[in-house]
Structure 1
Amino acid sequence: MALRAKQFDIARQFATEALKSNRTDRNAVMILAHALLGQDRADEAIPPLEKAARRGNDPEIETLLGHALCKARRTADGIAQLRRTAGRRPPYLPAFQELAGQLANTGEIAEAIGIIESALALAPTSIDLQLDLGRMLVRNNNRTEARRVLTAARTIAPARTDVLTELAWAQLLDGAFAEAADTYRHALGLRPDDTLSRANLAICLMEIGERASGEAALRSVLRGRPHMLGRAAFAMATSSRGRFFFRPSAAAKFLEREPERAATP
C-alpha cells in the first residue's frame, strides 16, 4: 500500500525489515527495488536484484534488474540483461517491452521496432504490444504504418483510451485533422478529464476551420488549471489557423475571457 501511494521511504523500511527475517523473500526484494527506484537510488536497487536473479529463473526480477541497470547509467549492462531475459522461453513479454524502450532511449528506434515485432510474432493478439509498436513507428516517423497498426488495435479494443489517443496523435501528425478530431472525441467520451487530448483536439478543430470550437476547448483545458497555460498557448500557436501571443499574460487574458456572443437579429 505504501508503494502504491508513492510513500517510497516507508515502503523501503518495511521491505528492509522483512528481508532481515527472510533474505530470500522475493516480494520484499521487489518492493525494496521499486521503492529505491522511486527515490532515484537505482545503484542501491541493483545488488538485491542481482542476488535474487542468481537464485533462480525469475523473468520479472531480471527485467527489473535490467531497468535498474539502465537507470543507473549502466545502459550496456542493462540492455545485455534484458536481451538474455527476452531470449528465455516461455517468453516474458514485459522484457521485450523494456528492452525496446531502452533501445529507443539510446536512439536505436529501428532495432526497438524489430524487438516489438518479434514479440508480436510470439503473442499476435497482445494489444499492449500493438500499442508499443504504434508508438515506436510514430517515433520513427513512419506515420502510415503506425496508423495501420493502431487502427487494428482500436478495432480489437475500442475502449482503450491509450490506443485511441496514440492513434489520434499519429493522425494529427499525418495531417488527417478531421479523423484525429473524431478519434480524440471518442477518447474524451471515455476519459473527459484528459486535458492533453482536449488540447490536441483544439489543434485539430482549428486546423479544419472550427476556430471557435477549438478555442472553447482550450478554455476548458485552462479553466482551474493555470499550469496548463503553456500547453494551451502552444496549441494555439501550433495551428496554422491559431493565434500567437508574445506575452503569456496576453494568452492567459484571451483564454480566460468568455467568447463574444453573436448579436440576436
Structure 2
Amino acid sequence: MAGGVAVGAALQCRKRVPPGGDFRWSSVGGSDNGWENHLMTGRMPKPPPPSHRGPSPPPALQRAMVALQMGQVVEAERLAAEVLKANRTDVGAASILARALMAQRRNEEAIAPLERATRRVEDAGLETLLGAALGGAGRRSEAIDLLRRTTARRPPFLPAFQELAGQLAAAGRFDEAVAVIDSALALAPASLELQLLLAQILPHRNERGRAREILEKLRTVAPGHPDILAALARVLLLDGEYAAAADLYRQVLAQRPDDPLTRTSFSACLLEMGDRAAGEANLRLALRGRPQMIGRTTSALAMASHGRFFFRPSAVAKFLS
C-alpha cells in the first residue's frame, strides 16, 4: 500500500530468480508505486487520517473523507484544498489532501502541506504520512531519518514501524528492515500485519523457509487473505513449486482480477509449467492498458524456461499487444 521506488533485488534460489523478483511496498499514503511485485503485495492497513481537532469537522471535510474512502481522489483533493484555504491550520484537511495527492503519485506536492501540519501539531500519523511522501518523492534518507524519530516515540505508533521497514527494504537495507519489524513485534507480537511484512522481507535474506513457516501460520489465522496467499505463492515460486504457486495466484486473482503484478507472477508460473499459451495470454491481460508493465511482462516472458526472447522492445510489445 505507495510511497517508494521500485527496487531490483537479486535472490539466491534453487534455480534462479523468476521474473518479477523485487518488492512492492505501498505506503500509508495508499499509492502502489513502492516495492513493486508480489513478494510484497503492498496492501498494508493504512492508519486513518488524524481526527479533526476541536468542533465537528465542517461538511466539506466530511465529504472529502468520504470521497477518499470511496477512491474518488480528485474530488477528495478538491474538497480538502477548499477546507485548507479557509483554515490553514486544519491538520485533518492537510492529511486528506496529502493522501489524495499521493494516491495520484504526486508525492512531491504532498510534502509541503504535511510539513506545515507537523510543525503545528505533534502527531505520529502525520509524521508517518510525511515519511511516506518523502520516500515516494525520492527523498528516502530524509524519510528514514524522520520515521526513526517517530518509531522512537512512546506510546508506539505501529504504522510508523511498517513504513520505516518498507522504506529500508525499498533501499535494499533488508537486515535493518527486519530489525525494525522485530522491535515492533516485541511491542505487538500478535500483529498480523507485522508478521506478514516480516515474511515478505525474509526471502531477500534467503530465509524462504522461515518466511514460509510464518505465512502458513498466518494462512490458518486468516484463510483466503489475498496478501498472505500472494506472499506464500511468491515463496513457492522462488522454490520452484510452480503448480502450488499458480493455484494460490488463481485464488488471489479471483479476488483481484485487475491486479497486473499478481497476473504477471501467475504467468511466470504457467510458463515454467510449460503452459505457454495460458502464460502469454495472462501477460497480455497484465499489459493491456498499462504501458508501465512492459518491463515486467517482458522479463517474465524472457526469463521463463518455456518463454521467449526478443531483441527489440518494440517486438515484444507488438507480440503482447
Q: What TM-score do you get using the length of structure 2 for normalisation?
A: 0.64
Contact between 1:237 and 1:243, CA under 8 Å: does it hold in 2? yes
Name the counterpart of 1:138.
203
Distance 1:195 1:43 in 2: 29
- Tell me whether 145-154 or 218-227 shows the greater mean CA deviation: 218-227
Supply the AA of the counterpart residue of 1:184.
Answer: Y
Contact between 1:159 and 1:190, CA under 8 Å: does it hold in 2? no
Contact between 2:267 and 2:280, CA under 8 Å: does it hold in 1? yes
Distance 2:213 2:298 in 1: 31
Name the counterpart of 1:202.
267
User: Partner of 1:41: helix, strand, or coil?
Assistant: helix
Specify the structure having the higher radius of gyration (Cα).
1
Supply the AA of the counterpart residue of 1:135.
Answer: Q
Distance 1:77 1:193 in 2: 34
Contact between 2:132 and 2:143, CA under 8 Å: does it hold in 1? yes
Name the counterpart of 2:220.
155
Name the counterpart of 1:107.
172
Distance 2:288 2:141 in 1: 41
Q: How does 1:43-192 map to 2 (within 5 A)?
A: 43-54=111-122, 58-71=123-136, 75-192=140-257
State the Cα distance separating 1:173 from its structure 2 match: 1.5
State the Cα distance separating 1:165 from its structure 2 match: 1.3
Contact between 1:49 and 1:65, CA under 8 Å: does it hold in 2? no
Name the counterpart of 2:299.
234
| Alignment root-mean-square deviation, CA | 3.2
Q: 1:30 to 1:219 in 2, by over 3 A?
A: same
User: Partner of 2:184: helix, strand, or coil?
Assistant: helix
Supply the AA of the counterpart residue of 1:164.
Answer: L
Q: Pick the aligned partner of 1:33 from 72, 75, 98.
A: 98
- Tell me whether 40-49 or 108-117 shows the greater mean CA deviation: 40-49
In the alignment, does 2:288 pair up with 1:225? yes
Q: 1:52 to 1:151 in 2, by over 3 A?
A: farther
Name the counterpart of 2:56.
none
Distance 2:126 2:318 in 1: 52
User: Partner of 1:89: helix, strand, or coil?
Assistant: coil
Distance 2:159 2:151 in 1: 9
Q: What TM-score do you get using the length of structure 1 for normalisation?
A: 0.76
Distance 1:93 1:137 in 2: 19
State the Cα distance separating 1:43 from its structure 2 match: 4.5
Structure 1 gaps, min length 5: 257-265
Distance 1:105 1:115 in 2: 14
Query: Relative contact order (alpha carbons < 8 A, sep ≥ 6): 1 or 2 greater?
Result: 2
Amino-acid identity (%)? 48
CA deviations on 1:89-143 (whole Å, 9 max, x unpaired) are: 3321111011112222333210111111222232233222122112211333322
User: How many equivalent pairs are there?
Assistant: 248
CA deviations on 1:174-200 (whole Å, 9 max, x unpaired) are: 222232123223323333444433332
Q: 1:76 to 1:175 in 2, by over 3 A?
A: same
Contact between 2:272 and 2:306, CA under 8 Å: does it hold in 1? yes
Q: Which is helix-richer, 1 or 2?
A: 1
Distance 1:77 1:230 in 2: 29
State the Cα distance separating 1:248 from its structure 2 match: 5.9
- Tell me whether 153-162 or 183-192 shows the greater mean CA deviation: 183-192
Distance 1:254 1:70 in 2: 35
User: Partner of 2:243: helix, strand, or coil?
Assistant: helix
Distance 1:24 1:133 in 2: 37
Structure 2 gaps, min length 5: 1-63
